[in-house]
Structure 1
Amino acid sequence: MANSPSARKRIRQTERRTAVNKARRSRIRTFIRKVEEAIAGGDQSAALEALRAAQPEIMRGVTKGVFHKNTAARKISRLARRVKMMAAGAADAQA
């Protein structure tokens, strides 16, 4: 256990940062889940809107240090590809 005052302070700071980061991570996961639910529901316009709302939120996680920038880019890329594939699937169904 930490004995010095500076070590105790670092523990308090870490607990606060952990709580903030956990809340941010949870918020980002909620935005991602909304996109995935819209994709699963087959509603392309809703998926596109959810993706547009999720992108800045995911990138905000990068600036706040919750995610690495490559992780965020990968998540956005994969979601965008899935939304785009919905458009291709809808076009195939109409043709």
Structure 2
Amino acid sequence: MAREIDIGDDVRLTVTVIKQLDSGRLRVSIPSYDFPCSIEAPRGAKVGDKLHLTGEVTHVDDEAGRVTVRLGGLVTVDVAAIDSWTKAWTRTKPLLDVWD
């Protein structure tokens, strides 16, 4: 995989609003994901707008070039659909002191 995305990383996806639902939620289209998703509507969002959603990576499939992201529910998208990502924080010191 060209990008070094790991489990726990935060990724950002750009989605397109395709419909405003009666409940005040928005139906959005996620690139490379074949199903529409519903999200809570931010102020001023309308049909055709591009929104950014951020989620945590829960699974990485290197062979297929796809990652699963938690955006409320789990969504599996191509790596190319990811705009940007932030590496997960890793501990550099052990949790406990090492005894001699």
Would you say same fold, with TM above 0.5?
no
Task: Flag the structure with higher helix content.
Answer: 1
| Shorter-chain TM-score tier | under 0.3
* TM-score, normalised with respect to structure 2: 0.26
* TM-score, normalised with respect to structure 1: 0.27
Q: Flag the structure with larger Rg.
A: 1
Query: Which structure has the higher relative contact order (CA within 8 Å, separation 6+)?
Result: 2
